[in-house]
């Protein structure tokens, strides 16, 4: 799968001056940052600041207008981009889970590796079983998404993404639609992933979680990165008034 | 004969309608536009006019080298009725596909499914249930429209009722029992379909998360 000359010393995800507009509304006004392999990055900011758009641009669900996004040496902003190649490398988990309602939990996990990666059924089944154990839902293998709680669905969704063996995981406000008591189980799963060295980019409102887990925090507002830094500095010594105001509102 | 016509019409109409419906959501502009055009054309034309056109323009026999195959009128009728059914099923398919939340497309896309894999494995299976009630509805409408073909000389229940009338010297007092009988037969066939459709609609309306 390594068709390019990316090496692990280089950023696995690298954004340079990314601009994105929806019609006349400019949502991203020049975003740049690098993510190294194994890092956990949290993007925070008020709603409407372009966080979700930003993360969706990384796996080309949204197309950017100008700038560059490199993922593992693959230029995302390239009209000839091999989208399948990109998406094999980048897993994404959504706020609304988006499980396939006509398939059971285990089928949800197994479908993509079988259809897309053409792996054999036995191989995929054992992988899916170990993933479903990993998210602690081994007793829900044959349950349909409609019968699972939000937190359980979200963990299945995480397992489904992991089944593709991605190098980078994108989490788009994955706990925002959950009941408070199920938020924790999802966060624990993400924490475990991070501790295993998975590169994670999260858009989140869970400040405590971001503080504990992130290697680096980016605060975005109105389409630009206002401030960034490691959690300790970011939360203790925020300089920009906008960051201060935002933090004072939610902490 | 009415049932045979309705059966084959539905078969052809559905197959063609699914293709045309998928054509309507194609990413290729000419395919999408022409699918839309044919859907609207046949959906908004009187069935009888379509039937006349097909009956009068289609050959009554086809030559395959030496052999000549006769095309019976009822087959032409099937073809003629298939056109509006195709167009309406096309709309049913398009509507059902568009009713699937965009999140499903995005999830499939982010898992590196190709577009055709997404459509066949993710989207259409979810549409299937939703398409059954309108599909059955169209089948009932079609069955009730099959007597139209009697106007074109195809033997079916209304033609037979008329012949029976003539055999009885057209006594006006027989009009109601004879045609009433045809009516009852249609009702007995179509009403259960309508009931079943309603039931299925109720069952599937709440099924989706």
Length of chain B: 209
B107 with A98: Cβ contact below 8 A? yes
Q: Residue B129 has what pLDDT?
A: 80
List the single residue in B with minimal CA-CA distance to A147: B209
Report, as an integer, the average pLDDT of A134-147.
90
Question: In which band, very low, low, confident or very high, does the pLDDT at B209 lie, cut at 50, 70 and 90?
Answer: very low
Report, as an integer, the average pLDDT of A145-165.
92
pLDDT digits (tens, 9 = 90+) for B151-207: 777 777 777 887 887 887 777 777 788 788 888 888 888 888 888 888 877 776 544
- Please say whether the beta carbons of A154 and A178 come within 8 A: yes
Measured between beta carbons, the chain B residues lying within 8 angstroms of A59 are: 110
Q: In the block, which residue shows the tokens 């299976």?
A: B125
Q: Which of B105, B111, B120, B204 would you mutate first to test chain A, the one with the most A CBs within 10 A? A: B111
pLDDT digits (tens, 9 = 90+) for B76-94: 888 888 999 999 999 999 9
Q: Residue A4 has what pLDDT?
A: 67
Q: Which of A87, A98, A146 sits opposite B104 (nearest CB)?
A: A98
Q: Helix/strand/coil (H, E, C) string of A36-85?
A: CCCCEEEEECCCCCCHHHHHHHHCCCCCCCEEEEEECCEECCCCCCCHHH
Q: Which of B109, B125, B209 sits opposite A145 (nearest CB)?
A: B209
pLDDT digits (tens, 9 = 90+) for B47-65: 888 888 888 887 776 777 7
Mean pLDDT of chain A, nearest integer: 89
The distance of B49 to chain A (nearest Cα, Å) reads: 42
ipTM over 0.95: no
Containing A19, the helix (H) or strand (E) segment is strand A13-22
B122 with A116: Cβ contact below 8 A? no
**H-state helical runs in chain B:** 2-24, 29-43, 47-57, 73-99, 102-110, 115-117, 124-145, 157-167, 175-205
Q: Residue A167 has what pLDDT?
A: 92
DSSP states along A105-151: HHHHHHHHHHHTS---HHHHHHHHHHHHHHTT-GGGTT--GGGS-HH
Give the number of A-B residue pairs with CB atoms closer than 8 Å: 60
Q: Which of A86, A93, A100, A114 would you mutate first to test chain B, the one with the most B CBs within 10 A? A: A100
Question: In which band, very low, low, confident or very high, does the pLDDT at B131 lie, cut at 50, 70 and 90?
Answer: confident
pTM: 0.80
Cα distance between residue B39 and residue B19, in whole Å: 11
Between A19-33, A52-66, A86-100, B151-165, the lowest mean confidence (pLDDT) is in: B151-165
HSE, CB side, 13 Å, CA atoms: give it for residue A18: 32
pLDDT digits (tens, 9 = 90+) for B22-32: 999 888 888 98
Strands B61-64 and A40-44: unpaired
């Amino acid at each position: 799968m390594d068709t390019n000359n990316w090496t692990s010393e280089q950023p696995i995800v690298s954004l340079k001056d990314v601009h994105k507009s929806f019609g006349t509304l400019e949502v991203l006004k020049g975003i740049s940052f690098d993510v190294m392999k194994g890092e956990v990055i949290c993007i925070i900011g008020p709603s409407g600041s372009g966080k979700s758009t930003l993360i969706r641009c990384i796996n080309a669900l949204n197309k950017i207008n100008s700038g560059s996004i490199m993922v593992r040496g693959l230029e995302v902003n390239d009209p000839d981009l091999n989208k399948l190649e990109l998406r094999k490398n980048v897993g994404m988990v959504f706020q609304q889970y988006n499980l396939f309602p006509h398939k059971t939990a285990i089928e949800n996990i197994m479908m993509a590796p079988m259809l897309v990666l053409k792996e054999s059924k036995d191989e995929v089944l054992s992988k899916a079983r170990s993933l479903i154990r990993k998210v602690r839902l081994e007793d829900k293998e044959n349950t349909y998404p409609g019968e699972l709680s939000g937190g359980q669905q979200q963990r299945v969704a995480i397992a489904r993404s992991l089944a593709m063996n991605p190098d980078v995981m994108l989490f788009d406000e994955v706990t925002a639609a959950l009941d408070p008591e199920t938020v924790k189980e999802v966060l624990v799963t993400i924490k475990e992933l991070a501790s295993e060295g998975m590169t994670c980019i999260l858009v989140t409102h869970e400040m405590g979680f971001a503080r504990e887990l992130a290697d680096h925090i980016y605060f975005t507002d109105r389409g630009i990165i206002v401030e960034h830094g490691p959690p300790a500095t970011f939360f203790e010594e925020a300089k920009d008034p906008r960051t201060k105001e935002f933090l004072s509102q939610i902490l | 004969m009415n049932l045979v016509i309705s059966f084959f019409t539905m078969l052809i109409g559905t197959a063609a309608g699914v293709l045309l419906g998928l054509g309507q959501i194609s990413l290729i502009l000419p395919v999408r536009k022409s699918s839309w055009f044919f859907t609207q054309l046949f959906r908004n034309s009187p069935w009888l006019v379509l039937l006349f056109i097909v009956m009068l323009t289609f050959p009554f026999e086809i030559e395959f080298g030496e052999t000549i195959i006769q095309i019976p009128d009822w087959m032409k009728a099937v073809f003629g009725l298939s056109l509006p059914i195709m167009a309406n099923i096309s709309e049913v398919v398009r509507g059902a596909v568009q009713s699937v939340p965009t999140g499903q497309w995005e999830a499939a896309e982010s898992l590196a499914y190709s577009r055709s894999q997404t459509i066949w494995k993710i989207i259409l299976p979810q549409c299937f249930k939703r398409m059954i009630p309108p599909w059955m509805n169209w089948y009932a409408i079609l069955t009730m429209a099959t007597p139209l073909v009697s106007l074109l000389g195809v033997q079916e229940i209304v033609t037979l009722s008329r012949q029976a009338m003539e055999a009885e010297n057209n006594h006006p007092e027989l009009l109601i029992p004879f045609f009433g009988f045809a009516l009852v037969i249609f009702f007995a066939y179509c009403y259960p379909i309508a009931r079943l459709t309603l039931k299925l609609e109720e069952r599937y309306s709440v099924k989706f998360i």
